[in-house]
Amino acid sequence: MDWVWPLYSEYVFKTLGTDEAPEAAQEETFVRLLGASMVTVLVQEPWRGSVRFKRLAVLGPETMFDLLNAPETWLESRFGGGKFKLNFHHGMHFVATRNFKPPGPPRWTDLPDIEPQYAQ
């Protein structure tokens, strides 16, 4: 899960109001923010000579930690191969995005595009 801190670091420092906060305060804020965040899983899909992103899942704090611990394995086991984008949000605030490209045949092509969900 070490790959998540670089995504959140700027947001953590912005929340703290400084990038010189003690490491313990940074860690506490990071855990608090991540624990109240959502992850949207999207996949790049060819569409009319271009590409679009199809929403496959929205995970809240109680369901995202398997994904965070082994993202490529989690993506491949559920959706197969493809070009995936993970978008992190804290409430209505966009935090960061990270792309993954697990190998293998796509198993997501027949799945529906889910409706966007927003944290309340």
Is 52 part of any domain? yes
Is 108 part of any domain? no
Domain that holds residue 31: 5-100
Cα three-residue angle 31-69-102, rounded to 5 degrees: 135
Q: Tokens 């529906």 appear where?
A: 112
Q: What is the pLDDT of residues 38-92, one digit of tens each?
A: 999 999 998 888 889 999 999 999 999 999 999 999 999 999 999 999 999 999 9
Is 10 part of any domain? yes
Note the pLDDT of residue 120.
44
CB contact at 8 A, 43 and 82: yes
Q: State yes or no: pLDDT of 3 exceeds 50.
A: yes
Q: Residues near 57 by Cβ (< 8 Å), separated by ≥ 6?
A: 40, 41, 78, 114
Is 110 part of any domain? no
Of 77, 66, 67, 76, nearest in space to 98 by CA: 67
Work out how many domains the chain is built from and give that number: 1
